[in-house]
Amino acid sequence: MIEKDNLIKAVNKNVRSGSRKANLILNFIKGKKVDVAIRDLEFTRKKVAEDIKKTVKSAIANAENNYQYDIDNLYVKEAYIGKSIVMKRFRPRAKGRASPIKKPFSRVTIILEEKKTELKKESKK
């Protein structure tokens, strides 16, 4: 049997949410099996959970198609977020002034790993 040490990775580069808001959801799914993580993301009431769910599904598809992993043994090893671009907009204010509005984007990275199930060998004596 071939030893597989590959980590499966999926990156969503432009998620329209701040990194602090999305980090709450990512901490929620770390260490969980992928089917449990997807189920939890479906029932989360945050808008960013939909984008994170897409990224997890993309990582599962990568594992299945590129590395032939068994989906039932996959779990979320790491899930982290970083800052991406910031859209800058301006709002009109009193006396001809303008105030800036920053609309941040984030970069979500999901890393999956296959849990190796240990087979117990029973010795008959």
Domain at 35, CATH number: 3.90.470.10
Listed residue (22, 19, 91) closest to 52, CA to CA = 22
Phi, then psi, of 58 in degrees rounded to 5: -65, -40
Domain, as residue range, for 60: 8-114
- Give residue 31's pLDDT: 92
Q: How far apart are the first and last CA of the chain?
A: 28
In a domain, 69, yes or no: yes
pTM score: 0.83
In a domain, 120, yes or no: no
Could you give the 3-state DSSP secondary structure of residue 37? helix
In a domain, 45, yes or no: yes
Number of domains forming the structure of the chain: 1
Q: What is the chain's pLDDT, residue by residue, as a tens digit (125 residues)?
A: 444 567 889 999 999 999 999 999 999 999 999 999 999 999 999 999 999 999 999 999 999 998 888 889 999 999 999 999 999 999 999 999 999 999 999 999 999 998 876 655 555 65
In a domain, 27, yes or no: yes
